[in-house]
A = this chain, B = another copy of it.
Amino acid sequence: MAAPGTARAIARAELTEQIKNEALRQLGDAGAGELSLRAISRELGMVSSALYRYFASRDDLLTALIVDAYADLAHALESADRTAGAGGAAGVRADTPAAGGGARPAAADPARRWATAASTLRSWALVQPHRFSLIYGTPVPGYRAPQETTVPAERVMLAFFRPLEAAEDRPLEAAEVTDPGLDAQLRAAGSLLGPRVPPARLAAGVTALAQVIGLVTLEIGGHFHGGFEPADALYAHAVEALTASLGLTDRP
């Protein structure tokens, strides 16, 4: 790798981006199974073997697209949360997402923040379903997600758990966690997702996120076809129920 700034490095970064863009374009047309390196190179006016200077294999390219998709989704969720936070209850700006303690009543409504995350996820997925499928779709049997994907994947998770931290004091009607194994798993996961969130709310957060992903999966997969299409109302109804079950709403 040449030092960044040289003409060669710039050209490399540029071409790498072009390759990924063209790959993304083809992915939207035909699905991950049809992604063709030869077609990409053809479109970019280069010989197919040259592409291997940038990505060692087709799987490598796909992995890069997965990492990008995670990062892009995480970015969308984070910036949406920042906007929702700014428009919150008392108009307090929340430019630093990981702000320190206190000032609870001044922070944006946690229910609103969570609902924003949920609707941002759906919007993002509906605009580019192939990228959503890349992340949450059919896994390749032998495929183990490389380390590079876990970090942006956590960013996505966090966007749904940060609002839970802001609701410490609200009562939660969710069932207590009785299974000691699950309790241990939740406490371990909680150290990453939200140390101050009790296990019961953490569990509710995981299942709520699963429901959101399930709904989007079903919608994108066409399983609502002829029944709940468009699914806007169903989704809104579900999100409302979820924020309530998470104990984020102000209603007691």
Contact = CB atoms under 8 A, between A and B. Distances in A.
A212 interface: yes
A35 to B, nearest CB: 9
A136 to B, nearest CB: 6
Given A138-B137, A215-B210, A217-B213, A203 B234 contact: yes
Nearest to A231: B185
A233 B174 contact: no
Given A28-B141, A141-B29, A182 B218 contact: no
Interface stretch (A3-11, A44-52, A75-83, A240-248): A240-248
18 contacts: A133-B138, A134-B138, A136-B217, A136-B221, A138-B138, A139-B220, A139-B221, A145-B222, A175-B237, A175-B244, A185-B234, A203-B234, A207-B237, A207-B238, A210-B218, A213-B218, A214-B214, A214-B217
A225 interface: yes
Contacts of A217: 136, 210, 213-214, 217
A13 interface: no
Interface string A141-183: 1101100000001000000000000000000001101010110
B30 A141 contact: yes
A204 interface: yes
A28 B133 CA distance: 19
Contact of A210 (B211, B220, B240): B211
B211 A241 contact: no
Contact of A215 (B138, B207, B236): B207
A204 B140 contact: no
B225 A145 contact: yes
A142 to B, nearest CB: 7
